[in-house]
Structure 1
Amino acid sequence: MDSGEKRIEEELSRPILLLEHIRSAVDQAESFKLECSEVWKQVDRLSQMLRTLVRFATTTPSLYERPIRRVAADLSKNLERALTLVRKCKRQSILRRVVTIVTAADFRKLLTYLEASIGDLKWLLSILDTDGAGGGGIVLSLPPIASNDPILSWVWSFIASIQMGQLNDRIEAANELAALAHDNDRNKKIIIEEGGVCPLLKLFKENTSPAAQIAAASALCNLANDLERVRVIVNELGVPIVVQVLGDSPMRVQICAANLVARMAEHDPVAQEEFARENAIRPLVTLLSFETFLDDPTGQLGKQSIHSIVQINKELEKKSLGRTNNRPLANSYSSSSFHMEGSSRGGNHKKDRENEEPQVKLQLRVSCAEALWKLAKGSVSNSRKITETKGMLCLAKLVEKEQGELQHHCLMVIMEITTAAETNADLRRAAFKTNSPAAKAVVEQLLRVIKEVDSPPLQIPAIKSIGSLARTFPARETRVIGPLVTLLGHRNIDVAAEASIALSKFACPDNFLCVEHSKAIIEFNGVPALMKLLRANEITQLNGLILLCYLALHAGNSESLEQARVLTALEGADRTVIAQHPELRDLVAKAIYHLSLYHAGGHSERLSYLP
């Protein structure tokens, strides 16, 4: 109930009071007595049903009030009509009777209104189930109050079943709401406005039935597709509930919880922050790494990850009650999140997880990776938390061994972390130190994807990640330059454009080693490939031009630049590209001037480009 709303008993007291006034007015009627008698018959039926509703409302601990308030408000209007009409039938002066003319048609119209209210109350009592059975199932009949919008009555019936029904009815109703929410945004709006979020969260939180939790999560996921609706879930304290379910539930329910984290974090930055505050990242990393390190034929990543697991277990020993003692190392890590979250039931589903089908385990990892991706997106603090949970090694291992969605999502997590590190020096120094085993493992897998995996959806995040880390590589680390230069000639325009953007981050003036990196790009024969990019579409032309300018500024005396006639190309770009991108005017002018100093034929005409 909203703070501004009256208590439900107060809402129902007004129509009851009106009923008494109508009784008195009928007794005093002098004209149209037969019609007034018919009115009273209808009002008496309403009185009996209304008093039944009041008894139910005052004795039911978990009452769904929205349809009651709407029906009660509509009933009050109709009873006011009845009271006004019947009072006109009281003995009055001749003048008064002439002014207030009453006709039989008025009574026919009033009886229609009262019949509608009887239908509303009958329907309302059916969905609230006043027989004491604790929930009478889903009612799909259409009450008169919702005759113009049947979806409204269905939503009321489903929400009432979820809040007050038996378990099977609650599951069915949650699935029906999920289907309605999936259809269109208008249905989502109605479900939100009619208070469907709170009962769904309550059902999701209860651990009595995985089927019920999955149904509730499906409905919530379908609702959470824009900021406003996600914010409603957050305001209903949904974030702690989701994290709790993520920490201690069967694997299939954890998949739904992870999907809900991803959906909410994607659409609302407040939800993104709340999940981090509730420490959702640690259980996500834990579930992502489930069984990841049990089979490592190379031994390299395995050794590193075992060290990470030991470190995590040391932290857990300080915070838990020692229940992890004498537990196998891998299993201890797989349940670490539950202890970290303070759950006393962290190992309840361990055996179930071990016996689950492989496709379910895979889907859990996919969902957790997507959730981490959305949590890390645009967030330095969340990216830092992922690196602090030793998640980098897990991500590197999965990129190496997995394929499809899981590999893609892990690459996207890495891309978001490296993007955050590019803008935050502290994170960059902490997570991507040159001697860090985790950083080395990640870079190795990024380079492997760039060189060996011919798939743009996978190559592009890997390229972006390497570009974001440009300032972390020493001058001698030229092995990252070569693969990027090779991709400048890739048949996929987007891959080529991303490669030029990444190389620009190595060669830009903000990079302390821009001169050394520029020379490396030229040595790997990057200039001819860049010249071809200038003849491609606008995107590659623009990015290729920027990189060429950086090469001219930092390695202008290179013979490769002269042989490729870069100066002529820049002069041509100055007349074409600059017209569309005036912000590059100064950069191109400086590059032309710098090349003119070194190359033969640097006449005064070219020197005039000096800003």
Structure 2
Amino acid sequence: MAAVASSEQQQQHHQEKRIEDELSYPIMVAERVRAAADEADSFKTECSEVWKQVDRLLQMLRSLVRFATSAASSPGGPPLYERPVRRVASEASKNLDRALSLVRKCKRRSILRRVVTIVSAADFRKVLSYLEASIGDMRWLLSILDADGSAAAAGGGGGIVLSLPPIASNDPILSWIIVEEGGVPPLLKLLKESSSPVAQIAAASALCNLANDLERVRVIVSELGVPIVVQVLADSPMKVQIRVAQLVARMAEHDPVAQEDFARENAIRPLVTLLSFDTFVDDSMGQLGRQSIHSIVQINRELGKKTAMMGRSGNRPLTNSFSSFSHSEGSSRGGNHRKDRENEDPAVKLQLKVSCAEALWMLARGSVTNSRKITETKGMLCLAKLVEKEQGELQYNCLMTIMEITAAAESNADLRRAAFKTNSPAAKAVVEQLLRMIKEVDNPSLRIPAIKSIGSLARTFPARETRVIGPLVTQLSHRNTDVAAEAAIALNKFACPDNFLHVEHSKAIIEFNGVPALMRLLRANEITQLHGLILLCYLALHAGNSELLEQARVLTALEGADRAVIAQHPELRELVSRALIHLNLYHAGMNSQRITYLP
């Protein structure tokens, strides 16, 4: 027994030495940064700023060592929980190594060393951001280890931090520790039952950091987290709603099951309602003109009745949370939140819309069900209005949501016919904004999703709707090859045989002078060559008698098409052969014998 006890003591001692070594290394590196900063000959101000951040981190590390030593020397006290300590210390060591390496480069050495070692202000900004993240990690760790705040205060922490550290956003190990220790149910309970917005935000932030992996999202779902999240989203202060909407986005992004659960819990409706808050005020006032207050109240009542009827006619009734949300004036809590929203800082209102738009984007991605739910609300019209009026992240998120909805409509005929009727005001508004983005906004990150969306709607446009063809043809000549390739892909959806109006659309593409642009695409990179070649074949097959094809020597171009591209895409071999045969009926090529085969 004595031998076993001695072995356990030795093992415990060995483990304690290991945690001490883990903490001693970053302290040693931090001291070296101090010396290197003193010796710096260039970027002295930046090196000084690095040292200030390192010094903050150093004080926290020393506080952590004192806490660890105290815990080890107290036989009756709880043992130190090492897993988060080791992970945070390891990341801090990496960031201190980065700082030391950078500061050392600022010491004057030989001319050759100064030539090959180039330091920029951007390098310092990057290192400072790493150090700031480690300081946040350490502040969190100290606050957790010492609930009364004394250790945190000693290291500059200043009390308990009700969230997860910055490291948790990209470190699956630390997130798993929280999950394995049963942290999800109490976080959900705190989110649902706390009367403190600060505590709710902290709980939502912690869950958001956990929800960056399929399995961890499934844990949240299995603990009945989805209805809790939707309830809090529907009836909470605006700052809480921001973080909860971000949680919806993260969960939907990583787990299709969560997407389905959010659909069942009617999460779309509060998100659209929050997104449209203040969006239609100016338009409504303009349209209502001098109508009386009584008329406006009546309109609002009718909207409320319609919402209630939609809830009763669905597969399941609206939950109490949605009733309180839709008729928030009926409860003191809802009324207070409404007043708070109206008086809230515009920056907070904007952030809420950004978060809600991102949540709708992630819910719609790859989901016909959620896309349909968005189109059944005023969501489409709201998205179009925000794309028109807003800029930056909100505009981008709304545009990406539209892209996902149109992609779902492309794959589902029922959704396409229901949501994108030619006489639908919402559909018209969306198309108008998509075309505006394509024609007027010279930003590939916005132009490309707009092009994709128009392409997804190719089968909804009648033959007379040639105004959507022209802007796409123009983009075939765009200097950005990604934009040009997406334009070719979108036009392929108009000209492909699956499109009932492929002949009319092919003629329109030629009339808008699309052939010369396509001929240029054949000389670009492999992706643009591929999609340009496919479109050129469709035009040849569906409008082969066009004189413009002969004038552009399309037959010759197809005969000389890049064999490497064709070889990598076997399905293209038959398409090119068919196009050559068809064109040969109308035009003479440089070597008509080659039309019978392709090597």
- TM-fit CA distance, 1:214: 1.1
Give the corresponding residue for 1:88.
none
- TM-fit CA distance, 1:607: 4.4
Structure 2 alignment gaps of length 5 or more: 15-63, 73-78, 89-136, 153-157, 290-295, 313-321
Give the Cα separation in 2 of the matches to 1:354 and 1:271.
31
Farther-moved stretch of structure 1 (336-345 vs 568-577): 336-345
- TM-fit CA distance, 1:179: 3.6
Deviations 1:365-385 (Å, cap 9, x if unpaired)? Answer: 000000000000000011000
> Partner amino acid for 1:315?
K
Contact 1:288/1:364 (<8 A) preserved: yes
Contact 1:286/1:337 (<8 A) preserved: no
- TM-fit CA distance, 1:562: 1.0
Q: Within 5 A, what are the aligned runs for 1:494-573?
A: 494-573=482-561
Give the corresponding residue for 2:446.
458
Match of 1:151 among 85, 92, 95: 85
Aligned to 1:573, the other structure's residue is in SS state coil
> Partner amino acid for 2:346?
P
Give the Cα separation in 1 of the matches to 2:540 and 2:13.
86
Give the corresponding residue for 2:306.
315
Give the Cα separation in 2 of the matches to 1:384 and 1:320.
15
Evaluate the alpha carbon distance shift between residue 523 and residue 367 of structure 1 in structure 2; reply closer, same or farther with a 3 A threshold: same
Match of 2:418 among 427, 430, 437: 430
Q: Within 5 A, what are the aligned runs for 1:128-147?
A: 141=68, 143=71, 145-146=79-80
Give the corresponding residue for 1:40.
none
Contact 2:304/2:326 (<8 A) preserved: no
> Partner amino acid for 1:218?
S
2:204 paired with 1:217: yes
2:246 paired with 1:259: yes
Aligned to 1:349, the other structure's residue is in SS state helix
Give the Cα separation in 2 of the matches to 1:301 and 1:499.
40
Deviations 1:70-96 (Å, cap 9, x if unpaired)? Answer: xxxxxxxxxxxxxx45xxxxxxxxxxx
Give the Cα separation in 1 of the matches to 2:4 and 2:565.
78
> Partner amino acid for 1:233?
I
- TM-fit CA distance, 1:297: 9.2
Aligned to 1:598, the other structure's residue is in SS state coil
Give the corresponding residue for 2:173.
186
Contact 2:421/2:460 (<8 A) preserved: yes
Give the Cα separation in 1 of the matches to 2:538 and 2:372.
31
Evaluate the alpha carbon distance shift between residue 563 and residue 400 of structure 1 in structure 2; reply closer, same or farther with a 3 A threshold: same
Deviations 1:349-370 (Å, cap 9, x if unpaired)? Answer: 0000000010100010000000
Q: Within 5 A, what are the aligned runs for 1:196-595?
A: 196-296=183-283, 312-318=303-309, 338-339=325-326, 345-573=333-561, 575-595=563-583
Evaluate the alpha carbon distance shift between residue 538 and residue 588 of structure 1 in structure 2; reply closer, same or farther with a 3 A threshold: same
> Partner amino acid for 1:316?
T
Length-normalised TM-score, structure 1? 0.70
- TM-fit CA distance, 1:177: 2.6
Aligned to 1:374, the other structure's residue is in SS state helix
Evaluate the alpha carbon distance shift between residue 508 and residue 108 of structure 1 in structure 2; reply closer, same or farther with a 3 A threshold: closer
Give the corresponding residue for 1:6.
none
Aligned to 1:544, the other structure's residue is in SS state helix
Aligned to 1:593, the other structure's residue is in SS state helix
Evaluate the alpha carbon distance shift between residue 308 and residue 445 of structure 1 in structure 2; reply closer, same or farther with a 3 A threshold: farther
Give the Cα separation in 2 of the matches to 1:267 and 1:251.
25
Deviations 1:136-174 (Å, cap 9, x if unpaired)? Answer: xx996575555764538999x999x99xx899x9x9656
Aligned to 2:523, the other structure's residue is in SS state coil
> Partner amino acid for 2:349?
K
Evaluate the alpha carbon distance shift between residue 109 and residue 212 of structure 1 in structure 2; reply closer, same or farther with a 3 A threshold: same
Evaluate the alpha carbon distance shift between residue 343 and residue 245 of structure 1 in structure 2; reply closer, same or farther with a 3 A threshold: farther
> Partner amino acid for 1:237?
L
Contact 2:444/2:483 (<8 A) preserved: yes
Contact 1:251/1:364 (<8 A) preserved: yes
Structure 1 alignment gaps of length 5 or more: 1-83, 86-104, 117-137, 322-334
Aligned to 2:162, the other structure's residue is in SS state helix
- TM-fit CA distance, 1:548: 0.4
Contact 1:248/1:348 (<8 A) preserved: no
- TM-fit CA distance, 1:348: 3.4
Evaluate the alpha carbon distance shift between residue 148 and residue 608 of structure 1 in structure 2; reply closer, same or farther with a 3 A threshold: same
> Partner amino acid for 1:556?
G
Deviations 1:412-467 (Å, cap 9, x if unpaired)? Answer: 11100000000100000000001111111111111111111111111111111100
Contact 1:570/1:588 (<8 A) preserved: yes
- TM-fit CA distance, 1:389: 1.1
Give the Cα separation in 2 of the matches to 1:309 and 1:602.
71
Evaluate the alpha carbon distance shift between residue 207 and residue 610 of structure 1 in structure 2; reply closer, same or farther with a 3 A threshold: same
- TM-fit CA distance, 1:316: 3.2
- TM-fit CA distance, 1:188: 1.3
Give the Cα separation in 2 of the matches to 1:584 and 1:607.
14
- TM-fit CA distance, 1:258: 0.4
> Partner amino acid for 2:250?
R
> Partner amino acid for 1:192?
V
Give the Cα separation in 2 of the matches to 1:534 and 1:298.
52
Contact 1:567/1:596 (<8 A) preserved: yes
Farther-moved stretch of structure 1 (595-604 vs 223-232): 595-604
Aligned to 1:589, the other structure's residue is in SS state helix
Contact 2:304/2:327 (<8 A) preserved: no
Deviations 1:25-66 (Å, cap 9, x if unpaired)? Answer: xxxxxxxxxxxxxxxxxxxxxxxxxxxxxxxxxxxxxxxxxx
Deviations 1:11-38 (Å, cap 9, x if unpaired)? Answer: xxxxxxxxxxxxxxxxxxxxxxxxxxxx
Give the Cα separation in 2 of the matches to 1:257 and 1:233.
13
> Partner amino acid for 1:469?
L
Farther-moved stretch of structure 1 (474-483 vs 213-222): 213-222
> Partner amino acid for 1:276?
A
Deviations 1:304-336 (Å, cap 9, x if unpaired)? Answer: xx9997764232354899xxxxxxxxxxxxx97
> Partner amino acid for 1:151?
V
Contact 1:319/1:340 (<8 A) preserved: no
Number of residue pairs matched by the alignment: 471
Contact 1:468/1:502 (<8 A) preserved: yes
Aligned to 2:212, the other structure's residue is in SS state coil
Contact 1:247/1:341 (<8 A) preserved: no
Percent identity for Structure 1 against Structure 2: 73
Evaluate the alpha carbon distance shift between residue 148 and residue 249 of structure 1 in structure 2; reply closer, same or farther with a 3 A threshold: closer
Length-normalised TM-score, structure 2? 0.71
Aligned to 1:296, the other structure's residue is in SS state helix
Look at both structures and tell me which one has the larger radius of gyration over its CA atoms.
1
2:530 paired with 1:596: no
Give the corresponding residue for 1:123.
none
Give the Cα separation in 2 of the matches to 1:555 and 1:320.
51
Evaluate the alpha carbon distance shift between residue 337 and residue 589 of structure 1 in structure 2; reply closer, same or farther with a 3 A threshold: farther
> Partner amino acid for 2:552?
A
- TM-fit CA distance, 1:603: 6.8
Contact 1:449/1:462 (<8 A) preserved: yes
Give the Cα separation in 1 of the matches to 2:430 and 2:210.
36
Deviations 1:260-289 (Å, cap 9, x if unpaired)? Answer: 000110011111111111110000000000
